[in-house]
Amino acid sequence: MLPRSLLGRSLLMILAPLVLLQAVALQVFYGSHLDIISRRFTGSVAGEIAYTHELMRRFPAQEDRAWILRLAREEFGLEMRVEPDAVLDSTTWANVLGPMDDDLAQALREKLNLPFAMDWESDPQSVLIRVQLPAGVLDIEAPRKRLYTGTIYIFIAWVVGSSLLLFGIAALFMRNQVRAIRRLTEAVEAFGMGRDIDQLTPQGAAEVRKAATAFNRMQERVRRFLAQRTEMLAGVSHDLRTPLTRLKLALAMLPPTEELAQDVEDMVGDVEEMERMVTAYLSFARGEAAEQAEPVNLSAVLEEVAAGARRAGADVAVTAPPALTLSLRSHAVRRALTNLVDNARRHARHVALGAIPLGRVVQVTVDDDGPGISPERRESVFRPFESGAAGGTGLGLTIARDIVRAHGGEIVLEDSPLGGLRARIRLPL
């Protein structure tokens, strides 16, 4: 039930004490001060009514009664008149907000001890009180200002208004502080997905500025490390071409004897396999260094990969929405998918490519009907130069996982519905 965002929790930390403070202030005022004032006001009015009733009981003559009622109007501000032989219809009344009606009823019971009824709703300026007398009904119009104070509304308006003002100011300042944290979060998330972003401008509180500065330094170090690693491995791979060429030349110059023919053929195959791996890594390194992420139609990339596999003689089916746009390095993703499809088609007759959006990610699957890989060996095939049923010795799956993880995604191997192996890729939208 609590808010999950930093802004919501920060505002709750401000709002909860503020509401508690104002609630205590209202309770102290409403339960103490207003209650005391209300009892005093209503007790005064009830005493004046009781005093007037006592005078009329002591001096029942008609001329005395008229003088007493006129005196009550002039001295007490209470309009009174007597309805001879009248009877109260009811002694109930509608309850109103505040303690005034209850306090007045209690005061009348204590001072008059006669049946009475009150009307707090008919007249906005007065409270109508009817008291049952032995010879009729005493009608009283008591001014409302004599029964309660209007400062309660001013106080409530002040409490609510000041609370809203303070909360609005706090929300404005907190939003500005959280905006800097949100920008930092978005930058970290984008960097984790392999997107190139500019240096963050430190903003907000001192701690947030320090975090932004630290992120900028970390981003620069990571980029420098990746560039150095890629350049180093590319250089090593490039330097390997020379001894590989010498090996090929030496094998070609061997005498074509029948005893060495099979060995020479095997060694030539190994050299060509190493040369393909070196070429693949050099191609990957060049693309990784130069390519930038941009909006790409993943469905079109899947169709291109499937078309290339079909030209090589594979049976490949594609199931994907017509337009599925993500921010990707298109050549790198195409290379990763091609590696997966090539591995599948070497060991299976049918390959199925699929893509479907699932919430904030897109799931890409490569299924085949081949022999598959046992669960305990599935992680090992991602290691460089690991041999096995997943595609021989090489860097194909290693490069594919590196590309997917550089986009902030992940790749795992599972059992396929077709009976073979499934490579499942999850890429963030």
Task: Encode pLDDT of 311-321 as tens digits.
Answer: 888 889 999 88
Backbone angles phi, psi at 363, to 5 degrees: -100, 125
| Nearest-angstrom CA–CA distance, 11 and 21 | 15
Cα distance between residue 77 and residue 87, in whole Å: 25
| Region 406-420 average pLDDT | 88
332 Cα distance to chain centroid: 32
| C-alpha pair distances (Å), 291 with each of 117, 216, 330, 333, 408 | 88, 21, 8, 11, 16
Instruction: List the one residue out of 27, 70, 74, 72 whose CA is nearest residue 49.
Output: 72
Q: What would the two tokens of residue 250 be? A: 């030496």
**342-394 residue pLDDT tens:** 888 888 889 999 999 988 889 999 999 988 888 888 888 887 655 444 444 45
What is the Cα–Cα distance from 417 to 242, expressed in whole angstroms? 45
**Residue 33 per-residue DSSP state:** I
Which residues lie below 8 Å from residue 206, measured CB to CB, with a gap of 6+? Answer: none
Contact (Cβ atoms closer than 8 angstroms) between residue 144 and residue 160 = no
- Return the closest-CA partner of residue 30 out of 120, 100, 104: 100
Longest dimension (CA), the chain: 154
Structural domains of the chain ordered from first start: 6-151 (3.30.450), 193-290 (1.10.287.130), 292-429 (3.30.565.10)
Which pTM was predicted? 0.48
Strands 350-358 and 315-319: parallel
pLDDT tens-digit readout, 254-286: 777 777 777 778 788 777 777 777 776 666 665
Alpha helices in 128-260 (DSSP H): 151-192, 206-252
